[in-house]
Amino acid sequence: MINPLKCLLFFLLLSIISCGPIIVFEKVVPIENAAWKYNDQVNFEFEAPNLAGKYNLLLTLKHSNEFAYQNTYVKIQTIFPSGKKEEQSLSLNLADKQGKWMGQCSGKSCEATIALQMNTTFTESGKYQIVLTQDSRENPLEGIHSLTFQIEAVEKS
């Protein structure tokens, strides 16, 4: 005989587990020898998701817990399917003003997720490309292990 309480708990647990973010694109790019050089471009190429949807664009930077800086600078170039290019410089904050690492740390590494754009839309169908280059004073920038770019679908409420 089926226990109604167990069924209710099972479906409640299932609904909680399935309520995570919907990732429509994710790519991890390791940085060779954890030393990001000026000429080492990090490329993320993806097909535009549903043009009617809204998305969060997220960058996760994995770094050493002994990273020498509170932030790092990057140049981000967006190449649209039409060939149009946009470039901007960003400071990626990895620690707060007291020097405590943002994100999660485990062992000798930390991961900080930075929102590049929230609730954005894609205006063109086709292939997009995001190109990141490090733009800090140090070359190479020691202690950067990898970069992960994600596109997360924003759920309609």
Model pLDDT for residues 81-128, shown as the tens digit of each residue: 999 999 999 999 999 999 999 999 999 999 999 999 999 999 999 999
DSSP 8-class letter at 53: S
pLDDT at residue 51 is higher than 70: yes
pLDDT of residue 72: 96
Q: Average pLDDT of 30-54? A: 97
Using pLDDT thresholds of 50, 70 and 90, give the confidence band for residue 4: low
Q: What is the mean pLDDT of the chain?
A: 90
61 Cβ neighbours under 8 A, 6+ residues apart: 72, 92, 94, 111, 112, 114, 144, 146, 147
The pTM (predicted TM-score) of the whole model is 0.85
Site of tokens 């679908």: 153
What is d(CA 35, CA 147) in angstroms, rounded to the nearest whole number? 12
Cis amide prior to 81 (ω within 30 degrees):
no
Pick 18 or 51 by higher pLDDT: 51
- Extents of the domains making up the chain: 22-153
Does position 15 have pLDDT exceeding 80, yes or no?
A: no
Contacts of 134 (CB under 8 A, 6+ apart): 36, 37, 38, 40, 72, 73, 74, 141, 144
Looking at domain 22-153, which of 3.30.70, 2.50.20, 2.60.120, 3.40.720 is its CATH number? 2.60.120
Task: Reply yes or no on whether the pLDDT at 12 is more than 70.
Answer: no
Which pLDDT score, from 0 to 100, does residue 127 have? 98
Look at 2 and 36; give whichever has higher pLDDT: 36
- Residue 140 has what pLDDT? 97
H/E stretch holding 16: helix 4-17
pLDDT at 13: 42
| 109 Cβ contact list (under 8 Å, min separation 6) | 62, 63, 64, 65, 145
